[in-house]
Amino acid sequence: MRQPLPRWVDVALLPLLNVVLAFLIGGLIVMSVGQNPLQAVGIMLYGAFGYGSGFGYTLYYTTDFIFAGLAVSLAFHAGLFNIGPEGQAYVGGLGVILAALAVNGLHWAFAVPLMILAGAAFGAFWAFIPGYLQAKRGSHVVITTILFNFIATSMMGYLIARVLKPAGINSDESSPIQMITRVPQLKDFFGLFNHSPVNITFFLAIIALGLVYWLIWHTKFGFALRALGHNPAAANYAGISNEKMIMIIMAMAGAMAAMVAVNNVGGVQGRLILNFVNGAGFVGIAVAFMGKAHPIGVALSALLFGALYQGGQELAFSMPGITREMIVTIQALVILFTGAMGDMLRIPLEKVWARFAPPAGAK
Amino acid sequence: MASQSPETSQRPSGAAASDLAIELIGINKHFGPVHANKDIHLQIKRGTVHGIVGENGAGKSTLMSILYGFYHADSGEIRVDGAAHKITDSRHALRLGIGMVHQHFMLVDNFSVIENIVLGAEDSSLLAPTLAKARTQLKRLATDYGLEVDPDAIVENLSVGQQQRVEILKALYRGAETLILDEPTGVLTPNEADQLFAVIRTLRDEGKTVILITHKLREIMAITDEVSVMRQGAMVKTLETKSTSPGELAELMVGRRVLLRVEKGPANPGKILLQVENLVVTDDFGVPRVKDVSFSIRAGEIVGIAAVAGNGQSELLESVSGMRDQKSGTVRLKGVPLSLEGDDGAGRAREAGLAHVPEDRLRMGLVTNFLEWENSILGYQNSYGKGLGLDIAGAQKEAAERIKKFDIRPTNPFLKTANFSGGNQQKIVLAREMERNPEVLIVGQPTRGVDIGAIEFIHNQIIKMRDAGKAILLVSVELDEIRSLSDRILVLFDGQIVGEADPATADETELGLLMTGSHPSGDISQPASAAPPHETPVQQTLVEMSPKNNTGRDTN
Amino acid sequence: MQFLTDVTLILDSTIRLAVPLILACLAGLYSERAGIVDIGLEGKLLAAAFAAAAASAVFGNAWWGLLAGIGAALMFSAIHGIASINLKGNQTISGVALNFLAAGLTTFLGQSWFHRGGYTPQLQPEQRFTPITLPFADQVKDVPVLGEIYWELISGHNLITYFAFLAVPVTAWVLFRTRFGLRLRAVGENPKAIDTAGISVTALRYQALIITAVLVGIGGTYLSIAQSAGFNNNMSAGRGYIALAALIFAKWRPGPALLVCLMFGFLDAVQLRVQGFKFPYIGEVPVQAIQVLPYILTIILLAGFIGRAIAPKASGIPYTKER
């Protein structure tokens, strides 16, 4: 007889096993090209956590992934699959750079809030359009957000190369933001992070995690959002405007994704460069699924992916046989096992549980 | 091939070819912890119409799905024409001459009739020969059984009755000798149902065996030769229809003698609370479904809408409750017009004091993935807590109180709503909508899928609301429920109110005629002194099913 | 005459650029008609391109490359099938995962096996599908207009190109004239109708996925060993997504799919030729504006401003016998 699994198995053990499975298969792939996966893990762990700079990089990546993961998670709770954080972050970069260049030279304490707002507005706008098309015209956000990623790439490519690029610079990028205006890096305050790009956006990400948790489970808006996600007809019955909700939630997701731009454009690079998002938006999808769209899960899986990206960098130096792309493979496996095949282990687990756990009602 | 082979295999020579078309021996089936079929024995004689009755969840459909190969029995034996078979899948069942018409049609909407008919019974990998053969076959079946339908029509353009014909033709085309009909009249107008009965009789006269699954006793009485009663997964008894009565069958179905008569005092109508004026509502495709409807409901009054499904009552409910935009017209609550436009109109209706128990609670009334306490504030979420935050503790406390008051089980507000039974889910909705003291309560299908014990409770709650001076609008597919609860009945046909009746005096036959748009005058509120003589057995049983003996209710 | 030559050249490259789109689009058509949304086309295309180039380089024969390309697509389809048919997982998510898997694996394995920064070795003519000259093309190529068209447009393509154009009418025939096609369309609209008719929904959907894999595998092969002489990183460059857009645009029908793919191919061809070209009155048209045109057109269609695209009803929904 099938018995429901205890909650902790459902929310923690099952996802964990899926992640382990993804890594095991990743390990097999590494082995198949004649490399030692354990050695690789050791190098990656050292690279990600073993020394200050490495840890700083890990946190820098984690920051990006938290924002992108939240952008996917927020929409996911409303039943929307947002594949567009990549493009939303990219367009958000336009807002960040325009705000920063407009006040270039201003102290960061005043400039950064402006960058956050402007980036959020641009990112929100870019996600709002698919939201609007879904709400009012019934076009599926899955498809439209994918298409908007491509449109963002072309549009930003044009704007950077033809509009924002100042005379006298050869590579395709905008004018730089002055140091005083840039998002300050943590190494300025903590020597530990010498040379790493982690900046105060990291704290913004932590705040965002808490904010999203509060929003989804402790507000009226969150209640409406979850009702919509589980059952749109019931949400309509409950007097919730599904159309408005979809547009608002998509805009919020886009704003969240745009924080990736604050981290990179406003902080690390200090200028708008081509394709600065560099896949972080897509990692957000894996992060959201692995973290079951819960802020705590998102935080943990963002940290895991941050460590993978930084450790992978280290790996490329120490083990030339393994490229960084192995991380993309792991990312794919994580999405596959936690997102698309999340229930594969459920039935075996239920069987194990039925055998070893005390029968229900025994206590 | 598909149409000939079963006929030959159907009649094996020798003594084994008994007069039994189907014999089920000791069938058991579990779904997880649910024992859906308990040691079922059943014999069905060839060339008869055999009814299977039982309440919702009694295991009728499961049993038939096993016979049709859609599910596999855990144990037991199926004999077709005396020979035991392990029916592996539906195709196997079809080869044995068993066809099934499901309650929800298994048609591909954007295919033509003929494409649907040959689907799965194609003779070769190319379609053309099969289609040509099917065309001639269809002509023959049409003349033999009176099943006329245009082979090239697209299914989604056909009426429900015609779609059902396509399903029957599908089975016959495959050479079905035994035809299982699962709740065939649930979606039909009475006129269409009569046509279906005529077809069933022809089928029987041509030597086919028909198994009719239903919970409507009047259908059983009207056209079956034998009837088997199921209760809670077990086979209770098989009877000859001639020698039984609806009362006996009802008792067997329920297991105890129940009188579902509702005890209520006379109504004391007060001032008008809900007023609907010239309401016009269109469906999702812009087709008008409610056409210029006006009525009003007073305080302390229950007004029931009697209508055959699909005549605009659902759209009426959804529109008045703010879920569906109205094309024109006004809805007034205590004389104040409600603004219901937009997809959040339901929220404004609720704020104004209009509560709504929707027809389909699983699709609309509940978020089954929510915890019980979350569903107990669904629609009223904005009244919990100030500002943005949600007052979770307050909501949980109230949910626990309501659980007690409405005897909802299990009593745990932190349980997922999907884990509650249908009756308890309905109580969650009712408790939520009634406990806020609304001025007007709109109730759709209050007892659909609810077990008998809970039905009495729900009916009493509705009466209590009425006696507390509220205005109640009631829609139900069960005419009996409408008649026993309402103080006034409005008959809706084709989106228009075609008559009004007093439930105490109205004649059911007359109501039936009104509901199908075939009554000469709309006014039958006078005692029907000159009721026409009943001409068909169907109408006779309609009369037998008067409120005093209303057990044949729709428990879907 | 120069104008005609220009047009012929653009049309010729239209055909070349449209071929992978046509194959991927038809591949998606089978899958989506059977009720499985295939966001993973891009990944299947990329994996096939890599496998084809790698196998062709190692075994020295284009046909081995083709086989490997189809094989890779089949493996990806198998994962897609297990996740979305057997485990009833979300089809979009598994599709997205496949795209990442292809992006990661092709680069990782490419680097591990060939050590050329993700590129596969440069292929020799015999390791590729090279243009073939149709009969009489040489003789008539100097005949004005018609001869030129025959020589330039119709002759001189590789085998896969002819296969792609042949696959369109064949698909239409299979879909609307055969038993398999009838069932395929039915399972994407109402799988229950198929199940109650005693036909396995699972088997049908797997059959569809196999055809999908074969077609997209050939499409990927075309990219790396017909159109190019080797694999490079991310060489599918979004063509899988464009094919998906074309499929929506064509409303899941083979004939229109061909036209839409040709249109998107034409846009691509034009974009390559107008770079830096100054039009009278308009001035220079940014390349990016033409690049995004297919996406924008698809969005406009999806938004219902030019007709409605209605997907097969059951697509995206895993089939479960209800209880």
Give the DSSP letter string of A123-138.
HHHHHHHHHHHHHHH-
Q: Does A222 touch chain B (CB under 8 A)?
A: yes
**For position B548, what pLDDT does the model report?**
30
DSSP B406: T
Please give the ipTM for the structure prediction: 0.88
Q: Which of A147, A332, A340 is facing C299, going by the closest CB pair?
A: A147
**For position C1, what pLDDT does the model report?**
56
- Chain A residues closer than 8 Å to C88 by CB: 343
Distance of CA A27 to the CA centre of its chain: 24
Instruction: Categorize the per-residue pLDDT at A357 as very low, low, confident or very high, splitting at 50, 70 and 90.
Output: low
pLDDT in tens, chain C (323 residues): 577 777 888 888 899 999 999 999 999 999 999 999 999 999 999 999 999 999 999 998 999 999 999 999 999 999 999 999 999 888 888 998 999 999 999 998 998 888 887 888 888 888 889 888 888 777 877 787 787 778 777 888 899 999 999 999 999 999 999 999 999 999 999 999 998 888 999 999 999 999 999 999 999 999 999 999 899 988 998 899 999 989 988 989 999 999 999 999 998 888 877 776 677 776 777 888 888 888 898 888 888 776 667 788 888 788 877 54
Residue type at B24 in one-letter notation: L
Residue type at B296 in one-letter notation: S
Whether residue C209 contacts residue C44, with contact meaning beta carbons closer than 8 Å, is answered with no
Distance from CA of C32 to the nearest CA of B (A): 16
Q: Over 60: is that where the pLDDT of B83 sits? A: yes
Considering only CA atoms, which of B409, B317, B418, B344 is closest in space to residue B374? B418
Interface test with B, best of C178, C182, C183, C189 (most B CBs within 10 A): C182
DSSP C152: I
Distance of CA A23 to the CA centre of its chain: 19
Q: Over 80: is that where the pLDDT of B379 sits? A: yes
- Chain B residues closer than 8 Å to C190 by CB: 106-109
CA B265, CA B466: separation in Å to the nearest integer? 10
Q: Do C177 and B100 touch (CB under 8 A)?
A: no
Considering only CA atoms, which of A337, A314, A285, A341 is closest in space to residue A23? A337
Q: For residue B59, give both structure tokens.
A: 């295991």
Q: Over 90: is that where the pLDDT of B179 sits? A: yes
CA B101, CA B120: separation in Å to the nearest integer? 15
Which three-class secondary structure state does DSSP give residue A1? coil
CA B225, CA B233: separation in Å to the nearest integer? 23
**For position B12, what pLDDT does the model report?**
41
**For position A1, what pLDDT does the model report?**
39
Q: Do C199 and B107 touch (CB under 8 A)?
A: no
The half-sphere exposure of B441 on its side-chain side, counting CA atoms within 13 A, is 31
Which three-class secondary structure state does DSSP give residue C78? helix
pLDDT in tens, C151-207: 777 888 899 999 999 999 999 999 999 999 999 999 999 999 998 888 999 999 999
Which three-class secondary structure state does DSSP give residue A160? helix
Which three-class secondary structure state does DSSP give residue A185? strand
CA B24, CA B38: separation in Å to the nearest integer? 12
Relative to beta strand B488-493, strand B301-306 is: parallel
Instruction: Categorize the per-residue pLDDT at B57 as very low, low, confident or very high, splitting at 50, 70 and 90.
Output: low
Q: What is the mean pLDDT of residues A19-42?
A: 89
Q: Do B120 and C321 touch (CB under 8 A)?
A: no
CA C121, CA C117: separation in Å to the nearest integer? 11
Q: For residue B399, give both structure tokens.
A: 């949910």
* Chain B residue at shortest CA distance from C173: B126
Whether residue B246 contacts residue B549, with contact meaning beta carbons closer than 8 Å, is answered with yes
- Chain A residues closer than 8 Å to B349 by CB: 239
Interface test with A, best of B364, B368, B374 (most A CBs within 10 A): B364
Chain B segment 284-303 residues within 8 A of C by beta carbon are none
**For position B401, what pLDDT does the model report?**
94
CA B304, CA B65: separation in Å to the nearest integer? 36
Instruction: Categorize the per-residue pLDDT at B545 as very low, low, confident or very high, splitting at 50, 70 and 90.
Output: very low
Give the DSSP letter string of A77-105.
HTT-----HHHHHHHHHHHHHHHHHHTTT
Instruction: Categorize the per-residue pLDDT at B1 as very low, low, confident or very high, splitting at 50, 70 and 90.
Output: very low
Cis before B410? omega within 30 = yes
Whether residue B246 contacts residue B217, with contact meaning beta carbons closer than 8 Å, is answered with yes
Interface test with C, best of B1, B89, B98, B106 (most C CBs within 10 A): B106
Q: Which of C177, C186, C313 is facing B119, going by the closest CB pair?
A: C186
List the beta bridge partners of residue B178: B98, B209
**For position B133, what pLDDT does the model report?**
94
Considering only CA atoms, which of C101, C312, C75 is closest in space to residue C209? C75
pLDDT in tens, B435-457: 888 999 999 988 887 776 678 88
Give the number of other Cβ atoms within 10 Å of residue A87's Cβ.
Answer: 28
Q: For residue C148, give both structure tokens.
A: 């030129």
Angle at A190 between CA A185 and CA A196, to 5 degrees: 50
Mean per-residue pLDDT of chain A: 90
Instruction: Categorize the per-residue pLDDT at B9 as very low, low, confident or very high, splitting at 50, 70 and 90.
Output: very low
Instruction: Categorize the per-residue pLDDT at B143 as very low, low, confident or very high, splitting at 50, 70 and 90.
Output: confident
List chains adjacent to chain B, taking adjacency as at least 3 C-beta pairs closer than 8 Å.
A, C
Cα B325 to Cα A133, B209, B278, B313, B433: the distances in Å are 20, 48, 14, 15, 22
Give the number of other Cβ atoms within 10 Å of residue A90's Cβ.
Answer: 32
Helix residue ranges, H only, chain A: 7-8, 14-32, 37-49, 52-77, 85-102, 108-137, 141-158, 201-218, 220-230, 232-237, 242-261, 280-290, 295-318, 325-334, 346-356
Q: Which of C180, C181, C196 is facing B102, going by the closest CB pair?
A: C196
Q: Which of C112, C113, C295 is facing A151, going by the closest CB pair?
A: C295
CA A33, CA A323: separation in Å to the nearest integer? 12
Q: Which of A140, A162, A326 is facing C108, going by the closest CB pair?
A: A326
Q: Over 50: is that where the pLDDT of B125 sits? A: yes
Angle at B117 between CA B115 and CA B118, to 5 degrees: 70
Q: Do A218 and B378 touch (CB under 8 A)?
A: no
Cα B111 to Cα B116, B119, B163, B184: the distances in Å are 6, 10, 12, 22
Q: Who contacts C217 (Cβ-Cβ below 8 Å, separation ≥6)?
A: C44, C48, C52, C66, C69, C70, C71, C72, C73, C74
Q: Virtual CA dihedral for B456, B457, B461, B466, nearest 10 degrees? A: 10
Distance of CA B501 to the CA centre of its chain: 23
**For position B47, what pLDDT does the model report?**
93
Q: Over 90: is that where the pLDDT of A317 sits? A: no
**Is this prediction's pTM over 0.90?**
no
Which three-class secondary structure state does DSSP give residue A206? helix
Instruction: Categorize the per-residue pLDDT at B248 as very low, low, confident or very high, splitting at 50, 70 and 90.
Output: confident
Whether residue A271 contacts residue A174, with contact meaning beta carbons closer than 8 Å, is answered with yes
Q: Over 80: is that where the pLDDT of B257 sits? A: no
CA B441, CA B458: separation in Å to the nearest integer? 13
Distance of CA B500 to the CA centre of its chain: 24
* Chain C residue at shortest CA distance from B93: C198
**For position B547, what pLDDT does the model report?**
31
Q: Which of B31, B69, B108 is facing C186, going by the closest CB pair?
A: B108
Mean per-residue pLDDT of chain B: 83
Q: Who contacts C280 (Cβ-Cβ below 8 Å, separation ≥6)?
A: none
Least confident stretch, A174-188, A203-217, C210-224: A174-188
Considering only CA atoms, which of A4, A173, A17 is closest in space to residue A97? A173
Interface test with A, best of C85, C292, C305, C320 (most A CBs within 10 A): C292
